[in-house]
Structure 1
Amino acid sequence: MDRLSSPSATKRIVEKHGFKFSKSLGQNFLIDSNVVDNIVEGANIGPEDFVIEVGPGIGTLTREIAKRAKKVIAVEIDKSLIPILENTLSDLENVELINEDILKMDVKKVIDEKLEGKRVKLIANLPYYITTPIVMRFIEEEIPVSSIVVMIQKEVADRMNAVPSTKDYGSLSVAVQYYCETEIVTNVPKTVFIPQPKVDSTVIRLDVLENPKIKVVDKKLFFKVVKGAFSKRRKTILNCLGSYDMGVSKEDIKRILESAGIDPVRRGETLSIDEFARLSNEFYKFIRTEA
C-alpha cells in the first residue's frame, strides 16, 4: 500500500469509509510526508524496538513506524476508526490494534503480555487537552518506557523544554525534566492537518531517565516546593512559599532558603532543578528536626 500522508490519500480513505471527524476527540489527520518522516526519525526507531502508538487515526504514521520497529501496538479510542485501520494496516504483520482509552488501559499488563515486558517507545499525536496527562502518567507511574515522542501545542512543548529565567519555565518544565531529557524534534504548522487545528504544533522527544538526574529525599515534598514556588510568578520565592501551605512559618522558610544557599528575594522561575532539589531537601531536614 502507498503512503497515506497526502491530502488526496487521506480524503479518499475518509470518504470511502464515510468517516466523520469528532471535535470532542480533537481529531486532526496529518497530511505531510516530511513531518511524518521527521517524527519517525526523531523517535530513533530500530528493528529491535517495541512501540506503543496512541491515536493512530487512519494509520498514516503507524505504517511508517512499523517499517522500522519490531512490533507496534496502536491504541485508538474511536471505534469507528478500527475498521479503517484494519484495512490500511492489513499488510503489516507487526502491528496490533487495541480499541481502548490509553488513560484507562492497563499499560503495564499490555507491555508484559504483548511486548515481552521490555521498555517501549511511546509515540502520540493526540488532542492537546489529554497529551500532558498521558505523558505524566507514563513517566510518573514508572511504566517501562525509554522515550516519548509527542506532537503537542507549541506553547506546551516550549514549557516542557524551557530553562530557568525564561517566560516558559514553570512547574511543568521542572516536572518533565525531573524524569526526562527534552529535545524539540520539529515544529509543525497547522496547515498540514485536515481538518486544520487552530494552533501550530511541535513534536518533542522526552528521553526517560532510568534514574532522575537529581537526588531528593522526598519526591512528594520536592514537587510541593516546586508548585509553591510558581504559585505567584511575580512574587519572590519567600513570599510564594510563605503564602503556600508548606506547614512552616515564613520566618522558618527564610532560614531554610538561606541554608539552601538561595536568596529569598529571587523568583521561583530563576531556580534550576538542582536548586529546587537542594531546597526541598533542606525543607525535609527542617521538618524532621522540628517533628
Structure 2
Amino acid sequence: MELTNIGTVRDILGRHGFNFSKGLGQNFIINPDICPKIAENGNAKKGYGVLEIGTGIGVLTKELALRADRVAAVEIDTRLLPILDETLADFDNVKIYNEDVMKADLRGIIEKEFAGLRCAVCANLPYYITSPVIMLLLESRLPIDSITVMVQKEAAQRLCAAVGTRESGAITVGVNYYGTVKQLFGVSRGSFMPSPNVDSAVIRIDLNKKSELTEEQEKFFFRVVKAGFSQRRKTMANSIASLMGIGKSAVYSVLSELGLPEAARIEQLSMEQLMKFSVMLMEQTKE
C-alpha cells in the first residue's frame, strides 16, 4: 500500500469517513522521498526503539518500523486508529498509544516498549505544538539519543540559530543547553495534503550534553531565559524585574561584572554569558 499516493490516501480517508482537523494541525505527507530520509537520519535502525509523536495515516511510522527494532507512536486522534490498523497491518513491531503527548507517561512507554534498546524520537510535528513538545522532551531528560522532527521552516531557523543573535529565542537556548542541533533538509509545502501555507524543514537534536548546572541553578537559569525572551524588546533589567521580582540594581551589578551594558537585551548574550549571568544573579538574590 503506497501511503503517499494521493489516490490511495483519499480512498483510505473516504472509506473511514475521515476529515482533516485544523485544530490538530493535520497535514499528511504525500512526498514519497521525505519519510525515508527522516527515518534514515533519525536513528531508525537495529538496536533502536523509535518514539513517534503523531502518526497521520502511518507514512513515517511505516518507514520507522522497516528499520528500527520497535516503534511506539503517540497519537491523540482516535479517528486515526482504525486507519492505522489497516495501513500498519503488516508490522508486528509497532504499538500505538492513543494519548495526548503532553500528558502521556513517555518515560513509562520507553521503558515498557524499548527494554534493552537505545531510543530516538522522530516526528512530523504540528506547527502549533512544536516548541512545547520539544521542550517537554528536553526537560524530561528522557533516555533518548536524538530528536529528529519536521517543523515549520521559520521554527527550524529559530531552533538552529546561534545563541546571542536576533534570530534566537528561548527554545534556541533550551536546545543548546541540552544538546546540539542542525538542520537536515527543507520540505516544500506541496509535500503535504492538505498543503499548508508555509514550507517546512527537518532538524535533528543530538542529546549529548551533560548539565553544567545544579538542579537549583538549572531551574533558575530557565526562569531567567523565559522571562527575558517573553519580553525580548525590553532590557534584561526591565524584563527580569517585572517577571521575576528581582531588583534592577542586582541585574545591573551582574551585567557590570560580566562587562555587559545596563541596556543589554537577553538575545545579545552568548550561551556562556547567559549561564554565568544566571548563576551570579541567583547568588545575588540569596545574599
Using the size of structure 1 for normalisation, the TM-score is 0.89
- Percentage of identical aligned residues: 40
Which residue of structure 1 aligns with residue 269 of structure 2?
271
Matched position secondary structure for 1:278: helix
Q: Using the alignment, how far apart are the partners of 2:190 and 2:45 within structure 1?
A: 30
- Map of 1:47-66 to 2, 5 A cutoff? 47-66=46-65
Q: Using the alignment, how far apart are the partners of 1:220 and 1:196 within structure 2?
A: 40
- Map of 1:73-88 to 2, 5 A cutoff? 73-88=72-87
Q: Using the alignment, how far apart are the partners of 2:83 and 2:148 within structure 1?
A: 24
Which residue of structure 1 aligns with residue 172 of structure 2?
173
Deviation at 1:239, TM superposition (A): 4.3
Q: Using the alignment, how far apart are the partners of 1:47 and 1:128 within structure 2?
A: 30
Higher mean alpha-carbon deviation, 3-12 vs 69-78, is at 3-12
Q: Using the alignment, how far apart are the partners of 2:200 and 2:246 within structure 1?
A: 41
Are 2:18 and 1:9 equivalent residues in the alignment?
no
Q: Over residues 179-203 of structure 1, what are the superposed CA-to-partner deviations in whole Å (9 max), with x where a residue is unaligned?
A: 1211112211111111112222121
Q: Using the alignment, how far apart are the partners of 1:240 and 1:144 within structure 2?
A: 34
Structure 1 gaps of 5+ residues are none
Q: Using the alignment, how far apart are the partners of 1:80 and 1:15 within structure 2?
A: 12
Question: Residue type of the partner of 2:242?
Answer: Y
Structure 2 gaps of 5+ residues are none
- Map of 1:110-129 to 2, 5 A cutoff? 110-116=109-115, 118-129=117-128
Higher mean alpha-carbon deviation, 220-229 vs 102-111, is at 220-229
Question: Residue type of the partner of 1:251?
Answer: S
Deviation at 1:240, TM superposition (A): 4.0
Q: Using the alignment, how far apart are the partners of 2:77 and 2:243 within structure 1?
A: 42
Seen in structure 2, the aligned counterparts of structure 1 residues 110 and 117 have a Cα distance that, compared at 3 Å, is farther
Seen in structure 2, the aligned counterparts of structure 1 residues 239 and 74 have a Cα distance that, compared at 3 Å, is closer
Question: Residue type of the partner of 1:274?
Answer: E
Q: Using the alignment, how far apart are the partners of 1:245 and 1:17 within structure 2?
A: 49
Q: Using the alignment, how far apart are the partners of 2:163 and 2:116 within structure 1?
A: 37
Which residue of structure 2 aligns with residue 283 of structure 1?
281
- Map of 1:195-210 to 2, 5 A cutoff? 195-210=194-209
Matched position secondary structure for 1:82: helix
Q: Over residues 90-122 of structure 1, what are the superposed CA-to-partner deviations in whole Å (9 max), with x where a residue is unaligned?
A: 111211222222222111111222211754211
Question: Residue type of the partner of 1:193?
Answer: F
Seen in structure 2, the aligned counterparts of structure 1 residues 235 and 109 have a Cα distance that, compared at 3 Å, is closer
Deviation at 1:131, TM superposition (A): 2.5
Q: Over residues 60-87 of structure 1, what are the superposed CA-to-partner deviations in whole Å (9 max), with x where a residue is unaligned?
A: 1111111110111122222221111111
Which residue of structure 1 aligns with residue 255 of structure 2?
257
- Map of 1:172-251 to 2, 5 A cutoff? 172-212=171-211, 214-215=212-213, 218-241=217-240, 243-251=241-249
Q: Using the alignment, how far apart are the partners of 1:117 and 1:128 within structure 2?
A: 33
Deviation at 1:245, TM superposition (A): 4.0
Which residue of structure 2 aligns with residue 141 of structure 1?
140
Q: Using the alignment, how far apart are the partners of 2:243 and 2:56 within structure 1?
A: 44
Using the size of structure 2 for normalisation, the TM-score is 0.91
Q: Are the counterparts in 2 of residues 159 and 170 from structure 1 also a CA contact under 8 Å?
A: yes
Seen in structure 2, the aligned counterparts of structure 1 residues 95 and 246 have a Cα distance that, compared at 3 Å, is closer
Deviation at 1:159, TM superposition (A): 1.4
Q: Using the alignment, how far apart are the partners of 1:20 and 1:249 within structure 2?
A: 53
Q: Are the counterparts in 2 of residues 111 and 118 from structure 1 also a CA contact under 8 Å?
A: no
Q: Using the alignment, how far apart are the partners of 2:46 and 2:116 within structure 1?
A: 17
Which residue of structure 2 aligns with residue 97 of structure 1?
96
Which residue of structure 1 aligns with residue 149 of structure 2?
150
Q: Using the alignment, how far apart are the partners of 1:227 and 1:113 within structure 2?
A: 34
Deviation at 1:237, TM superposition (A): 3.5
